[in-house]
Structures are given as C-alpha cells and as structure tokens.
Amino acid sequence: MKSLFEPTTLAGLPLQNRIVMAPLTRSRADVMGVPQPCVRDYYSQRASAGLIISEGTQPSFAGQGYCRTPGMHTPDQMAAWKGVTDAVHARGAKMFMQFMHCGRIAHPLNRQIKDAPVAPSAVKPAGQMWTDQQQMQDFPTPHALATAALPGVINEFVVAARNAIEAGFDGVELHAANGYLLNQFLASNTNQRTDGYGTTLSGRIRFVVETFEAVASAIGASRTGIRVSPGHMFNDLVDANPLETHFSLLDALPTAKMAYVHVMLPDAFSPQLNNAGDPQALLPALRPYVKGALIAAGKLTAASAQAMLDSGLLQLAVFGRPFIANPDLVERMKTGATLATPREDLFYTAGPEGYSDYPALVS
C-alpha cells in the first residue's frame, strides 16, 4: 500500500508525503508582479504537503493576463519568491513554480506593457474578464504570433525557469491546461496557423513540445512537469479531438524522464466535457501514455485519492480548493477532521483576508 501520508520520491526528489497542493491563482502580488509578504505566510502555512505547485506565474510581462498575478522575470519578483521557497523548505515541502502564459486570456488594463495580448491565431475569446479599474471587460482580439517571434516566447519560459531555480524552486510546471497560451496552441479552435505550428496534429503540439524541450534542457527534464486538461472547455477552448491531441502530445514528451504529467480532471468544475468521453475514463486512457509519474486534481477526497494510489493510476494526489481554507489539510485528512469551506468571494481579492488568515485546527 502506498499511503497518501508516507514519504516518496518524485523523479529523485524526496517528498514528505504524496499530497500535492494544486496551483491556485490568488492575485496577491502587486501591479509589478511582486508577491506580497502574505504570500510567504500562505505557502508556508500549507507546507506540510509533500509538494506545493505555485499559482500560475507569468514568465514575462507579455504573459500576464489577469490583475495582480505574480511574475518570475524581475529581480524584485525573484527576491520575494526566494523568501517563499525558503519558508516552504523550512517546513519540509518541496515547491515547483507553475508558468502560466495567458496568451489571449488577457486584458490590456491588467498588463504592464502596451503590446496587445498574443495568441497562436487572432481568435477573440468569448466572454469577459475582471479588471481592477473597470470591473468586467470583454476580451480583446489577440495578435497572432509571427513565426519569427516564437523562439523569443520560448526563451521567456527558459529564462524564467532558470530564475525559478535560482529563487529556490525545486522545479517548474508548464501550464498547458485551462485555455492559456500553450493550450491555445494545442486546440483546434484557437490554433489556425498554417506555418507548421498548427492545423495538423503534429503542428498543434509542436510549440508545446519545443517549449518543454527548451526548458528541460535548461534546468533538467526531471525538474520539468506539464499540466494538461483534455476536454476542459474553460476560457472558450474547444478542441475537435482532445484525447487524440493529448495522446500525441504525451508520446512526444519524455514522460519517463520528466518530473510528472499533471492532469486537471475535466469535471473538476463542470460536468460538461468537450469530445473527451466519460470523465471517469480519462485517467485510465491517459495512463499508458505516461511512463513516469501521473498526478491529478479534481474534487479528490482522501479516500478517492488513496484508491487511485492503490490502483497505480496516480503517483501523487493533488488538492486545490481544500487547501484554501485548510492550511493543515494534511493533518485534517490524516485524522478525519472536518474540512473548512473557503470563501469564494475572497479568492482573488488583495491582502491577507480569506488568504493567509484561515486557522489551523491546532496552531
């Protein structure tokens, strides 16, 4: 039996247990993308996890889409993150940084640069996003990245990954899920390129594979993971055949050597699945394509997670919302204590309230 609560290793990295804190955007950075002091408190309070994956963090100002999300591309950001990783390591957890380049899911009011948001193709997302200045606003039409600009975007990920390692992170996760830039390259409705980086299956996975390879060659494949969400239609993303796309992607990645493949289960928020079949069948379908560690999040409980570890479907179990209101989630799951409910109205507000002020059961 591989207990949730027992130590393990992840691509050689020792973990104090098999419980992972999911990447959770909480918008507690300043406008320059520098995490505020409460960010260190928040992560260190939750560092009884085996592994913490940071909130989606932009690799460059160009990658920012939302207000007050952090970055990993300026000295001030790096210094603040170093304080976070030191505090997390002091409590025994390891920490990866998730890189979220938002691509077209961006509004100019939320960004520090004047350039239009970039995307594989100039396809405007349906819907609106929050801005601190003018509340909900329509998404603008993004600017399609020129072929000659692609190596520069990949280089932003590489530089940011090196910065993350310098700031004490144990590895990085590329966010290729939930409709952001890398996912926009994968999906057929957002990628209409005809330059070898789109249209065909091999074309649509190419930018993601090249980004992964560049980051892995800079910091090591064993320190590089990826997050995917086949069938999840968040952010107006609709792929004609998400399973086929992801099988092909996983075949092209060094899954035996890399840190992990992280799946956000498509029914985590909504039962509606785009062309990916039964949500329950997704992990078993992906499992044969992942030669190393497979980890997943999506409404897991201690019992369902343990069952997935026991069956060999997963190597680590990832928890998102339960970590928000339960800094001592590991202890609560171990003892069967009641879980507190998070305040959704404070998910993305500034400051410690509803963030670093949730009490542990015994503090």
Ligand X SMILES: Cc1cc2nc3c(=O)[nH]c(=O)nc-3n(C[C@H](O)[C@H](O)[C@H](O)COP(=O)(O)O)c2cc1C
Q: Which residue is nearest to ligand X (CB)?
A: 320
Residue 90 CB, shortest distance to ligand X, in Å, is 24
The tokens describing 47, both together, are 């560092």
Residues at the interface with ligand X (CB under 6 A): 22-25, 55-56, 98, 100, 175, 177-178, 227, 264, 268, 297-300, 319-322, 347
Of residues 21 and 62, the one with the C-beta less far from ligand X? 21
Of residues 58 and 245, the one with the C-beta less far from ligand X? 58
Residue 101 CB, shortest distance to ligand X, in Å, is 12
Phi and psi angles of residue 314, each rounded to the nearest 5 degrees, phi first:
-125, 155
All residues at 6 or more sequence positions from 44 whose CB lies less than 8 Å from its CB, including other chains = 84, 87, 88, 90, 91
Phi and psi angles of residue 297, each rounded to the nearest 5 degrees, phi first:
-130, 155
Question: Residues 57, 99: contact at Cβ < 8 Å?
Answer: yes
180, 197, 355, 358: which one is catalytic? 180
Residue 200 CB, shortest distance to ligand X, in Å, is 27
Q: If DSSP codes are grouped into helix, strand and coil, which group holds residue 181?
A: helix
The tokens describing 237, both together, are 């993303």
**Most distant CA atoms of the chain, gap in Å:** 58
Name the residue among 41, 74, 57, 12 with its Cα closest to residue 174. 57
Q: If DSSP codes are grouped into helix, strand and coil, which group holds residue 52?
A: strand
- CA dist., res. 140 & res. 130, Å (int): 13
Question: Residues 62, 102: contact at Cβ < 8 Å?
Answer: no
Of residues 144 and 167, the one with the C-beta less far from ligand X? 167
Residue 342 CB, shortest distance to ligand X, in Å, is 8
Residue 353 CB, shortest distance to ligand X, in Å, is 15
Q: Is 180 a catalytic residue?
A: yes
Of residues 93 and 144, the one with the C-beta less far from ligand X? 93
Of residues 10 and 264, the one with the C-beta less far from ligand X? 264
The 10 Å Cβ neighbour count of residue 32 is 13
Active-site residue set: 180
